[in-house]
């Protein structure tokens, strides 16, 4: 598991800021102003870099803890795991707490623009429990961050909390991505409820050439969906939001987190989507992330995939037969039938992805998405076991 932040010694001359980390190999091709970059000197021999280069107006100079500290320059010493930042990443400096945090990782599979901690749903398995705080300041931070992200970044998610709570601010963030990152696939993770009966959905029509939405649906009737999100009327609002997005010509993915009551009706949910939401481009069937609210509701939400293989296969068949793309997220290969392996994605972000001791001798470990780092035996399928080479599907 990669660290998200680390203790650090940060020069008193530096205030809170976002900086692009630039190594010596990347520096010649850098196009950002010096003030927006942190020159990474870790691993460079002492005295290798002359004073003329060091005296450029860098936003910061990242150096090893053992290197002599030059108090006249804007130094940053990462005291913990050095993997918190490498060349190409974007870091946030917090000189008051003396910490460095990663805000973008070059080459990572799970980079997220975190929009807000607020949400208008309280899902029983929410991995990011909402906080009712005033954090509209994040809009400005996201605009700054977008300017520092690699232009060839393949994909970014916008998540929270509920991003549409930013209102016009969300449209502003997407518009900045369109300007700076037009080739990046932008995926907004939203419950869709605030798009119901508003004009907000229209702000996204044609705003970004590669924009899509991930909207959750947890039931084929209001009682089930509203129970999972713990919000009365949410089912109707989400459906109206989905139709509003379709009217705005948006690409849509439906996300179904496999909590127990949803797993039990998965084929019916699949048929509901097939009949009522035929414009949906993709459906993601997702295993639970065992953190946040999920831990308090284990008995109500945990469902072993090994016990629901028939429901999972039936749902996949419905989507396949209707031409709707389908993927399985957060489900280790050994816990599902081999006929479904080709649908399973390596979906867990690098920084929170891990494997169990049983995986050490598995012949398909490199093809498997593994587990969340905080998985415990209570959240582990009884089917977890290493797959022998002779048992592996030829496709793997």
Tens of pLDDT along 200-256?
889 999 999 999 999 999 999 999 999 999 999 999 999 999 999 999 999 999 999
Q: What is the pLDDT of residue 389?
A: 78
- Separation between Cα atoms, residue 167 and residue 30, nearest integer Å: 34
Q: What is the pLDDT of residue 393?
A: 54
Q: What is the pLDDT of residue 50?
A: 78
- Reference 331, options 225, 256, 228, 254; nearest CA is 256
Position 27 pLDDT exceeds 90: no
- Separation between Cα atoms, residue 101 and residue 131, nearest integer Å: 21
Position 368 pLDDT exceeds 90: yes
Q: What is the pLDDT of residue 191?
A: 97
**Least confident interval from 142-151, 199-208, 354-363:** 199-208
Position 123 pLDDT exceeds 70: yes
Quick one: pLDDT band at residue 73, thresholds 50, 70, 90?
confident
Residue 374: how many CB atoms within 10 A of its CB? 14
Look up the pTM and report it. Answer: 0.94
Position 375 pLDDT exceeds 60: yes
- Separation between Cα atoms, residue 278 and residue 91, nearest integer Å: 41
Q: What is the pLDDT of residue 30?
A: 86
Percent of the chain topping pLDDT 70: 98
- Separation between Cα atoms, residue 334 and residue 305, nearest integer Å: 10
| Domains observed in the chain | 5-104 (3.50.30.10), 112-391 (3.20.20.70)
Q: What is the pLDDT of residue 396?
A: 44
Residue 353: how many CB atoms within 10 A of its CB? 18
**Least confident interval from 49-58, 104-113, 124-133, 385-394:** 385-394
Quick one: pLDDT band at residue 47, thresholds 50, 70, 90?
low
- Separation between Cα atoms, residue 158 and residue 349, nearest integer Å: 14
Q: What is the pLDDT of residue 290?
A: 97
> 395 vs 18, which has greater pLDDT?
18
Q: What is the pLDDT of residue 373?
A: 95
Query: Going edge to edge, which strands form the sheet with 282-286?
Result: 112-114, 155-159, 185-189, 211-216, 251-257, 282-286, 325-329
**Least confident interval from 236-245, 253-262, 281-290, 381-390:** 381-390
> 31 vs 276, which has greater pLDDT?
276
Q: What is the pLDDT of residue 117?
A: 97
Name the average pLDDT for the chain: 94
Quick one: pLDDT band at residue 26, thresholds 50, 70, 90?
confident
Position 197 pLDDT exceeds 50: yes
Position 395 pLDDT exceeds 70: no
- Separation between Cα atoms, residue 394 and residue 396, nearest integer Å: 5
Tens of pLDDT along 85-98?
999 999 999 999 99
* Cα within 13 Å of Cα(191), Cβ side: 26
């Amino acid at each position: 598991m990669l660290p998200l932040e680390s203790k650090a010694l940060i020069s008193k001359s530096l205030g809170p800021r976002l900086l692009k980390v630039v190594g010596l190999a990347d520096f010649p091709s850098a196009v950002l102003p010096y003030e927006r970059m942190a020159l990474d000197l870790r691993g460079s021999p002492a005295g290798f870099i002359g004073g003329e280069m060091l005296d450029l107006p860098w936003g910061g100079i990242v150096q090893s803890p053992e290197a002599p500290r030059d108090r006249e320059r804007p130094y940053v010493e990462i005291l913990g795991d050095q993997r918190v930042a490498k060349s190409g990443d974007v870091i946030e400096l917090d000189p008051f707490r003396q910490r460095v945090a990663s805000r973008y990782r070059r080459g990572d599979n799970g980079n997220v623009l975190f929009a807000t901690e607020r949400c208008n749903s309280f899902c029983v398995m929410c991995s990011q429990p909402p906080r009712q705080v005033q954090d509209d300041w994040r809009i400005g931070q996201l605009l700054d961050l977008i300017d520092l992200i690699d232009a060839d970044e393949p994909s970014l998610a916008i998540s929270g909390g509920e991003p549409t709570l930013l209102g016009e601010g969300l449209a502003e963030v997407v518009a900045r991505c369109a300007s700076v990152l037009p080739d990046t696939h932008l995926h907004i993770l939203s419950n869709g409820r605030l798009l119901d009966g508003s004009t907000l959905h229209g702000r996204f029509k044609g705003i970004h050439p590669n924009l899509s939405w991930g909207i959750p649906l947890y039931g084929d009737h209001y009682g089930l969906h509203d129970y999972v999100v713990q919000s009365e009327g949410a089912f109707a609002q989400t459906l109206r939001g989905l139709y509003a997005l379709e009217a705005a010509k948006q690409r849509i993915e439906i996300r179904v987190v496999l909590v127990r009551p949803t797993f039990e009706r998965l084929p019916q949910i699949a048929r509901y989507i097939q009949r009522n939401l035929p414009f949906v481009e993709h459906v993601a069937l997702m295993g639970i992330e065992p953190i946040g609210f999920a831990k308090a509701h284990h008995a109500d939400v945990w469902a072993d995939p090994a016990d629901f293989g028939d429901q999972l296969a039936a749902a996949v068949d419905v989507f396949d037969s209707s031409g709707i793309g389908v993927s399985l997220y957060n489900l280790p290969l050994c816990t599902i039938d081999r006929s479904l392996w080709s649908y399973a994605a390596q979906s867990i972000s690098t920084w929170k992805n891990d494997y169990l001791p049983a995986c050490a001798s598995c012949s398909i470990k490199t093809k498997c998405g593994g587990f969340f780092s905080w998985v415990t035996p209570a959240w582990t399928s009884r089917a977890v076991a290493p797959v022998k080479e002779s048992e592996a599907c030829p496709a793997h």
